[in-house]
Amino acid sequence: MTAQILDGKATAAAIKSDLAARVEALRARGVVPGLGTLLVGEDVGSQKYVAGKHRDCAAVGITSIRRDLPGTAGQEEIEAAVRELNEDPACTGYIVQLPLPRGVDTNRVLELMDPEKDADGLHPMSLGRLVLNEPAPLPCTPNGIVYLLRRYGVEIAGAQVVVVGRGTTVGRTLPLLLTRRSENATVTQCHTGTRELSEHLRRADIVVAAAGVPHLIKPEDVKPGAAVLDVGVSRDESGRILGDVHPGVAEVAGWISPNPGGVGPMTRAMLLHNVVEMAEQAADRAEGGRS
């Protein structure tokens, strides 16, 4: 068996083209969506991702505002930048690129964000709303994964899903999306404390690998025909991406997301989607208030 590719790059391109039309419609209503990014430090991956987000903004007509601080920036300097983005009227939504440098209290930084400008769905208010099943901007990678599975007709309802990893951006939040009534999956969350990981994996119809351990998921761990999504980003000495999924898995799986070209571009597309949706909702509220 050779797996069907879950093409994140092509899917993200289609989403962006739809968003460009929505941005044009917003501009016609006098609303200009603006995405802010706050990047602290010199991490090569984070710099690439932030640069990609600004390229995407240019492509769909969203204004972008970039705040870069050196890795030596302390808690106070970072919090001051957050306050500035909260106050900046040109910035309708923003993200704090994660991870922040060691020693920075990330939760305090996220809590300081204006929840109305949380483009990433990672503010505690947005996460709480997600838990309570109330409308909220959704975390971008999990939302991109669900979108990709749907786009390629992978059955989610009733599926046994194994999520490997428990980080905030994917591992913790993806199960919340997949277990909503609209998705109806059964999710097992695995992590470094999980015993017999292979046994869990072999039962899964869908595997999402977000552990950050190169080639953790081997062909013999995967049920034939399963969908396997690779979120892991480790890098070799030359900076080349090493995913969490061994290349041999493509011979066993029914669907596989390439890495690069799978979940990464979907993360960026879902960020733009959140920015546009938040701007549309704000415009509706403003126009409703005027009538």
Ligand X SMILES: Nc1nc2c(c(=O)[nH]1)N[C@@H](CN(C=O)c1ccc(C(=O)N[C@@H](CCC(=O)O)C(=O)O)cc1)CN2
- Residue 258 CB, nearest approach to ligand X (Å): 8
The strand order across the sheet containing 63-69 reads 63-69, 34-40, 93-96
* Active-site residue, selected from the candidate residues 16, 97, 117, 221: 97
Which tokens in the block code for residue 286? Answer: 């403003």
DSSP the chain: --PEE--HHHHHHHHHHHHHHHHHHHHHTT---EEEEEEES--HHHHHHHHHHHHHHHHHT-EEEEEEE-TT--HHHHHHHHHHHHH-TT-SEEEE-SSPPTTS-HHHHHHHS-GGGBSSS-SHHHHHHHHTT---PPPHHHHHHHHHHHHTT---TT-EEEEE---TTTTTTHHHHHTSTTT--EEEEE-TT-SSHHHHHHT-SEEEE-S--TT-B-GGGS-TT-EEEE---EE-TT--EE-SB-GGGGGT-SEE--SSSSHHHHHHHHHHHHHHHHHHHHHHHHHHHH-
Closest CB to ligand X: residue number: 264
Q: Is 97 in the site for ligand X (CB under 6 A)?
A: yes
Site for ligand X in 23-82 (CB under 6 A): 45, 48-49, 52
Write the binding mask 168 to 207 for ligand X: x where contact by CB under 6 A, - elsewhere: -x--------------------------------------
Residue number, 69 or 241, with CB nearest to ligand X: 241
Query: Any binding-site annotation on 165?
Result: yes
Query: Any binding-site annotation on 171?
Result: no
Query: Any binding-site annotation on 166?
Result: yes
- Residue 139 CB, nearest approach to ligand X (Å): 6
Site for ligand X in 260-279 (CB under 6 A): 260-261, 264-265, 267-268
- Residue 25 CB, nearest approach to ligand X (Å): 26
How far is 14 from 40, CA to CA, in rounded Å? 31
Which tokens in the block code for residue 282? Answer: 């704000």
Q: 4 catalytic, yes or no? A: no
Query: Any binding-site annotation on 262?
Result: no
Q: Is 126 in the site for ligand X (CB under 6 A)?
A: no
Q: Is 249 in the site for ligand X (CB under 6 A)?
A: no
Q: 120 catalytic, yes or no? A: yes
- Residue 38 CB, nearest approach to ligand X (Å): 9
Q: Is 244 in the site for ligand X (CB under 6 A)?
A: no
Q: 114 catalytic, yes or no? A: no
- Residue 288 CB, nearest approach to ligand X (Å): 31
Q: Is 214 in the site for ligand X (CB under 6 A)?
A: no
How far is 207 from 184, CA to CA, in rounded Å? 16
Q: Residue count at the site for ligand X (CB under 6 A)?
A: 20
State the residues that interact with ligand X by CB under 6 A. 45, 48-49, 52, 95-98, 120, 140-141, 169, 241, 259-261, 264-265, 267-268
Annotated binding site for NADP(+): 165-167, 233
Residues carrying an active site annotation: 53, 97, 120
